[in-house]
Structure 1
Amino acid sequence: MFFAAKFDPAKDLNDLSGKVVVISGANTGIGYHTAKILAGRGAKVYVGSRSKEKGENAVAQLKEEGISSEQVEYLPCDISTPALARQAAEVFLSKETRLDILVNNAAMLLDGSTISTQDGVTEMIMTNHIGVAQLTMSLLPLLLKTSELPGSDVRIVTVGSNAHRGSAAKNPKLDFSTLAAFKDPHEKDTFPTFSRYSVSKLCNTLFSNALQRQPKVALSNIICISLHPGFVNTSVSSKVSWPRLTNAIMTLLAIKPEAGAYTSCFAAASPIVRQHPDQYKGAYLEPYGKILPASTHAQNTKMQDDLWRTTEEYLKGQGASP
């Protein structure tokens, strides 16, 4: 884009030594650069990736770029099913006794030919929301425990999108009190894939807001933030019908993944957030760290509660909830 970031991680983040961070989808793009920035400020970062090869390659690349080997570690982290998401959490919990920052970065941008899972939930919702919810809930006890430590600053950051303002996600008939919205493929919509993505990103902000309002979280110092990273040039252009055209548009208009990580880093570690917790708890941010009102649906507390309850019941039915 044709403007400069007012937030500079190199200057505006405090020393993060002693902090432990988990970032899902950190082997490439926004997640990779979020890991690089936070590790560069001294945090120990677990680089979550569903692919062992890509995750280990990302860790190796971070080391080549100057990050010490003690500060980055590969974490097997596949959130495409509740069972796998819980497994990722269990691997982490076997290694650490604290967790200061969770960045839910992994997401599906385009789904494949198999739109829905065996039980009818769309793959987009399964990965972008249910997997995120399971990972977060499985790590929440440790996040709460860490929040009780002196001087702690615990944050849960969920990378959403301004796509949560899309027409499908603004539908007045949208209802999360049952699984129906999780199973809707939006096949009659003009752009079904974007509709599914849009609703899944609404789920991200609804979930973040609902999480902030859960009694144990509300009584803690934990700050839950959802955000839009900006229009970022990612590898998605190679997976669309017109890759050359899409790549040209992305190159011209989109920001680089490193800049796309700035808002995540602001949410995860900016001292400004801790200085003003009441402003940032349950906030929705856009680049670079600017608080903006989320969509009307995203701010609807009944919709937040419905989503939380339906998600929790679904996970219990899968036998994968905490």
Structure 2
Amino acid sequence: MGAQWSQFFPPKPTFTEANVAPQDGKVFLITGGASGIGFELAKMLYQKKGRVYIAGRSEETAQQAIKNIQAAVPEGGSLAFLHLELDDLSSIKASVEVFKGKESKLDILWNNAGVSQPPVGSVSKQGIELQLATNCLGPFLLTQLLLPLLEAAAAEDTNAPGSVRVVWTSSQIVELSAPPQGIIMDELHQPPKDKARNYINSKTGNWFLSSELARRTESIISVAQNPGAASTNLFRHTPLVRYLAWPLLHTPVLAAYTELYAGLSEDITVEKNGCYVIPWGRIATNVRKDLLDAMKPEEEGGSGRAKEFWEFCMEKTRDYH
């Protein structure tokens, strides 16, 4: 339980903006970057001269976020909005094409956006349980479509292996509440009428996707992270939680340090591809054994559950590539 306690009450961050070198020429994409943790991360990257894209559904909200960042950081890199609707698989390819029209490479993708516990029965544009669609299928498809740009960045940065990354957002709730082996696959086909359980499944899915991408690529680092409990709009569907959990909630900027570490820390080497990052920027060393087993394929002595989930996502998104 000590490992979990240290995630509820993490030590002070040791990796902040002060540890980040100038990021001139680097291209970053943050989903959900207009508010909360993503907003704070965008501000940090802009301050370090990065080319930062804030991806989301509302241009008005993103443009206001951009104005706020520019007002707080008078001299930075660049900020731009990218329209993206993760709950509509049919629209994601068009968003990627717009991005490709502006950039020839992508150094880091932060799959930061997510939805938590909307009303039971909420579904995506394709009729898929909303949390599974928004938190897993949308980011999975987005990442697949952006892989050529990530690979282009890796080919350019041959002197810095491990600098091109995809960061996936999981949650401490996975270790606390996921069933043995992480996901019961039948629940993906017939979601339970339990919005909390569906959220857990989606966050476990994020971790599984990170692990599988790391297993399948050599030039790109794939990292899953629990950013830490922060008071953000993620609780808009569960406002009571914000009050009941108030002693455990931290400022979004602290959670942004977790994401900054996952994306830019040199602690995360090629040899540590697929690692799991915990607040406020530490590589986890004590993870539930059954989850680790689930992330190993059967030929390596695991259960292959993560591979099974990856194949599920591939099938669900096949018509939208």
In 2: Cα distance, 1:308 partner to 1:13 partner: 33
Of the structure 1 ranges 200-209 and 113-122, higher mean CA displacement relative to structure 2 is found in: 113-122
How much has 1:138 moved relative to structure 2? 0.6
Letter in 2 for 1:239: H
2:213 pairs, out of 211, 218, 239, with 211
Alignment of 1:216-235 (within 5 A): 217-218=217-218, 220=219, 222-235=220-233
Alignment correspondent of 2:167:
157
Shift of 1:237: 4.2
Cα–Cα, structure 1 residues 81 and 304, in superposed 2: closer, same or farther, change >3 Å? same
* Cα distance between partner residues in 2 of 1:50 and 1:297: 33
Comparing 105-114 and 137-146, the one that deviates more: 105-114
**Residues 1:181 and 1:94: Cα distance change in structure 2 (over 3 Å):** farther
Q: Is the 8 A contact 1:129 1:200 kept in 2?
A: yes
Of the candidates 29, 35, 39, which is equivalent to residue 42 of structure 2?
Answer: 35
Q: Unaligned regions of 5+ residues in structure 2, if any? A: 1-7, 297-303
Deviation (angstroms), 1:8: 3.6
Aligned position for 1:184: 190
Corresponding position of 1:170? 179
- Listed as ranges, the gaps of 5+ residues in structure 1 are none
Shift of 1:166: 4.5
Checking the alignment, whether the CA contact within 8 Å between 1:104 and 1:132 is kept in structure 2 is yes
- Who is 1:314 aligned against? 316
Q: Does 1:278 align with 2:271?
A: yes
How many pairs does the alignment contain? Answer: 301
Contact 1:170/1:297 (<8 A) preserved: no
Calculate the TM-score normalised by the size of structure 2.
Answer: 0.86
Contact 1:13 1:271 in 2 (8 A): no
Deviates more, 1:51-60 or 1:20-29: 51-60
SS in 2 for 1:309: helix
3-state secondary structure, aligned to 2:28: strand
Q: What displacement does 1:51 show? A: 0.9
Q: 1:312 to 1:213 in 2, by over 3 A?
A: same
Structure 1 residues 183 and 288: alpha-carbon distance in aligned structure 2, compared to 1, 3 A threshold: same
- Per the TM alignment, residue 234 of structure 1 is displaced from its structure 2 partner at its CA by 1.1
Q: Which residue of 2 aligns with 1:289?
A: 281
Distance 1:69 1:92, change over 3 A: farther
Correspondence for 1:111: 118
Q: Would the aligned equivalents of 1:14 and 1:271 in 2 still touch at CA under 8 Å?
A: no
Deviations 1:173-228 (Å, cap 9, x if unpaired)? 9444xxx43233222xxxx11100000000000000001111xx12x2x2110000
- Paired AA for residue 285 in structure 1: V
SS of the equivalent of 1:239 reads coil
Q: 1:139 to 1:2 in 2, by over 3 A?
A: closer
Distance 1:183 1:42 in 2: 44
Q: Contact 1:233–1:256 at 8 Å: present in 2 too?
A: yes
Give the Å deviation of 1:148: 0.8
Within the candidate set 61, 84, 94, 1:87 is matched to 94
Provide TM-score, normalisation by structure 1: 0.86
Give the distance between the partners of 2:57 and 2:165, measured in 1 at CA. Answer: 23
Using the TM superposition, give the Cα deviation of residue 121 of structure 1 relative to its aligned residue in structure 2, in angstroms: 2.7
Q: How does 1:120-159 map to 2 (within 5 A)?
A: 121-149=128-156, 150-152=158-160, 153-159=163-169
Give the match for residue 300 of structure 2.
none
Identity %: 26
SS class of match (2:54): strand
- One-letter amino acid of the counterpart of residue 83, structure 1: S
1:262 maps to which of 257, 269, 274: 257
